[in-house]
Amino acid sequence: MSGESRFNDLEPLLERVSKPIQYVGGELNSTVKDWHVGGHGPGGEDLTARWALMYPDAYEVGVPNQGVMILYEVLNERPDTLAERTYAVWPDMEALLREHHLPQLTVDGHRSIRDFDVFGLSFSTELGYTNMLTALDLAGIPLHAADRTDADPIVVMGGHASFNPEPVADFVDAVIVGDGEEAVLATTEHLLAWKREGRPGGRTELLRRLARTGGVYVPAFYDVTYHADGRIAAVTPNDPAAPARVSKHTVMDLDAWPYPKKPLVPLAESVHERMSVEIFRGCTRGCRFCQAGMITRPVRERSITGIGEMIERGLQATGFEEVGLLSLSSADHTEIADLTRGLADRYEGTNTGLSLPSTRVDAFNIDLANELTRNGRRSGLTFAPEGGSERIRKVINKMVTADDLVKTVAAAYGAGWRQVKLYFMCGLPTETDEDVLEIAELAKRVIETGREVSGRKDIRCTVSIGGFVPKAHTPFQWAAQLSAEETDARLLKLREAIRADRRYGSSIGFRYHDGKPGIVEGLLSRGDRRVGRVIEAVWRAGGRFDGWSEHFSYERWMECAADAFAALPPEAAGVDVAWFTTRERGEDEVLPWDHIDSGLDRDWLWDDWQDALSEVEVEDCRWTPCFECGVCPQMGTSIEIGPTGKKLLPLTVV
Ligand code: SF4
């Protein structure tokens, strides 16, 4: 474990790859610490905790990722800990690294990943799984947890995908579920205590200590048995340290965690050229398709003063000119109007622009939009009604009427916006062609009203539509996913319906993805341990960057899946891609993620699924009495919202 920089070996390769800047590091606010920053114990014990953090996608997507950025800073603030970052290398760099026998390196100290104590990966989406295997392989870390030795780092997974880690259970040593800030520090404490004691019992003992906390899932400590028809019979701990269910972590006071304090400024072009401040975490709107909303309950707001301080400090530390107010539904912050007005006042006369990356139709008002663009550009507005018909919006619990939408959009056109984007999903449970075709009618009404209120002909509306993928820990976790062929056929009909009417056709843009990537995502989202062999086979067949359409191959996934499932024992003969995706599950079926405790009560989720089928809506518990989803009592948490009555005082006189 040397921790030496391999930059001299890497440097000659840089001129031979695309975007070499993504491998060099040195971004504003990045950190490289001494390898032995924690010093040594009296017996020479190494007392530094070393984390290599990976966002398993390309640099340009990974650098702005808030999760990794926060943990990087939280860990590096500890004087005895160092954290460095790494991202997925492009295939051209992968080939060169292999040719020159160079390992996967961090971008900060250009150190080999294998030299670190912990290799932590944050998965926002399951489509990064093959990139994890590339990184492990390049790093010289055995792909399978079972083959690792004390010389290998502990491979830890986090992020939203960790709420069903079973498809990658063979490849990861430990899984942290939920908010990472406190959890990585607690893990660091365990690591250092174990090192201080002279590493008793090797890596297995360290994993036992982590498992005993009740908040770290160690897949190797659980056995899965199956029924003759392929369904799971039980997931049972095989080690006394392992709890029957593993709990998610919840950070309650966001103001106590004002990270990132000094956001990283990417060297190369990245997907977001702005600083982001998370204004609240969690969402209780109860949209039934939304895994992020369900698994991050309850709502915890950052205070208006806390947000103001983070923005001021972050802008000074970065020089960014745009601030994104992040959350699952930013207009729902109880003090959003005061906040946006206060920020627009504070940065009046500067080029600092504000944006709300996600906006609900019903929480939006045009004053808010005007404040947001007072100092910046007036780009397009995006709304997400998600479902085309009133009926399907009841099924998904997205309580917005067509009239609400048209009224909001009309106000936007009236206030000078020319471009509105509407986001929908296709393939929702109980959906028919008619539900989706109503999207065309809605878009036409939007254009018609827009023309009326603006008195102009040149307004546009873009309909963007994606295939619905049922996710774990949501009421739709039991639902059948629509097949790729049916999704494509339905979308084709919608496109024809939009194009058919010449009065609107050219004013309505239509963007959609075919249903194929959604099926692979569905396989990985609701898969069990048997899907691991498919992931490995796809990776061995060249699968990389599955989130990128130019690299994604549906055929490769289907061929590898057919081979891998054919090798299962004969009783699992019916288990294939369709079995994992388009099959509806029954109430009693053991789901692969049932032993991961998101706090949501399983019976409540089932009842909510039944309510969906009966088109019954559920209110937001922020504004109504608790409807007992289970999260708050189970996790010892509560809803934390304003208004605080505090004002956003200008920190700087502009
Ligand atoms: S337990 Fe009650 S208050 Fe807490 S998130 Fe669930 S419904 Fe809302």
Which candidate, 426, 443, 446, 444, places its Cα nearest to that of 435? 426
The whole-angstrom separation of Cα 557 and Cα 258 is 41
Select from 280, 474, 628, 635 the residue to mutate for testing ligand 1; criterion: most ligand atoms less than 8 Å from CB.
Answer: 628
Local structure of 257: helix, strand or coil:
coil
Assign residue 248 a region (left: φ > 0; alpha: ψ between -120 and 50; beta: otherwise): beta
Nearest CA residue ID for atom 5, ligand 1: 298
The verdict on whether omega for the bond into residue 20 sits within 30 degrees of 0, i.e. cis, is: no
CA angle 190, 297, 300 (to 5 degrees): 85
Q: Could you tell me the distance, in angstroms and rounded to a whole number, from the CA of residue 632 to the centre of ligand 1?
A: 6
Assign residue 494 a region (left: φ > 0; alpha: ψ between -120 and 50; beta: otherwise): alpha
Q: Could you tell me the distance, in angstroms and rounded to a whole number, from the CA of residue 374 to the centre of ligand 1?
A: 37
Q: Taken in order 293, 296, 300, 303, is the CA torsion positive or negative?
A: negative
**Predicted pLDDT at 653:** 43
Q: Could you tell me the distance, in angstroms and rounded to a whole number, from the CA of residue 640 to the centre of ligand 1?
A: 11
H helix intervals, 248-356: 291-295, 304-318, 336-346
Give the mean pLDDT per block of 10 residues along the chain (654 residues): 92 97 95 98 97 97 95 98 98 98 98 98 97 98 98 98 98 98 98 98 98 98 95 97 98 96 86 86 94 96 94 94 89 90 87 74 66 68 89 93 87 84 95 96 92 90 95 98 97 93 87 93 98 98 96 98 92 90 98 98 98 95 91 93 74 47
Which DSSP category does 23 fall into? G
CA atoms within 13 A of residue 129's CA, in its CB half-sphere: 31
Nearest CA residue ID for atom 2, ligand 1: 626
**Predicted pLDDT at 356:** 76
Who lines ligand 1 at CB under 6 A? 284, 297-298, 621, 626-632, 639
Q: Could you tell me the distance, in angstroms and rounded to a whole number, from the CA of residue 609 to the centre of ligand 1?
A: 17
Angstrom distances, CA of residue 124 to CA of 62, 67, 166, 525: 10, 9, 15, 11
Residue type at position 250: T
**Predicted pLDDT at 643:** 83
CA angle 212, 214, 218 (to 5 degrees): 70
Nearest CA residue ID for atom 3, ligand 1: 626
The whole-angstrom separation of Cα 416 and Cα 378 is 9
**CA 627 to ligand 1: nearest atom:** 7
Residue type at position 198: G
14, exposed or middle or buried, with CB in 10 Å at 0-12, 13-18, 19+? middle
The whole-angstrom separation of Cα 120 and Cα 180 is 11
Supply 20's token pair: 């070499």
The whole-angstrom separation of Cα 351 and Cα 369 is 17
Q: Could you tell me the distance, in angstroms and rounded to a whole number, from the CA of residue 629 to the centre of ligand 1?
A: 5
Looking at the DSSP bridge assignments, the partners of residue 265 are 28
**Predicted pLDDT at 363:** 53
Task: Give kind and range of the element (H or E) at residue 87.
Answer: strand 81-87
Q: Could you tell me the distance, in angstroms and rounded to a whole number, from the CA of residue 624 to the centre of ligand 1?
A: 10
**Predicted pLDDT at 570:** 78
Q: Could you tell me the distance, in angstroms and rounded to a whole number, from the CA of residue 265 to the centre of ligand 1?
A: 37
Nearest CA residue ID for atom 4, ligand 1: 632
Select from 605, 618, 622, 627 the residue to mutate for testing ligand 1; criterion: most ligand atoms less than 8 Å from CB.
Answer: 627
Q: Could you tell me the distance, in angstroms and rounded to a whole number, from the CA of residue 599 to the centre of ligand 1?
A: 10
Q: DSSP of 587-613, one letter per residue? A: TTSBPTTTTEE-S--HHHHHHHHHHHH
Residue type at position 365: N
Angstrom distances, CA of residue 138 to CA of 22, 113, 134, 145, 170: 17, 9, 6, 15, 18
Q: Which residues of 65-78 are buried (b: 16+ CB within 10 A; e: fewer)?
A: bbbbbbbbbbbbeb
Supply 55's token pair: 């966002």
**Predicted pLDDT at 354:** 82
**CB within 8 A of 186, min separation 6: which ones?**
213, 215
Is the distance from CB of 242 to CB of 211 less than 8 angstroms? yes
Q: Taken in order 597, 241, 122, 276, is the CA torsion positive or negative?
A: positive
pTM: 0.95
Local structure of 83: helix, strand or coil:
strand
**CA 297 to ligand 1: nearest atom:** 5
Alpha carbon 586 to chain centroid, angstroms: 27
Looking at the DSSP bridge assignments, the partners of residue 597 are 247
Nearest CA residue ID for atom 1, ligand 1: 632
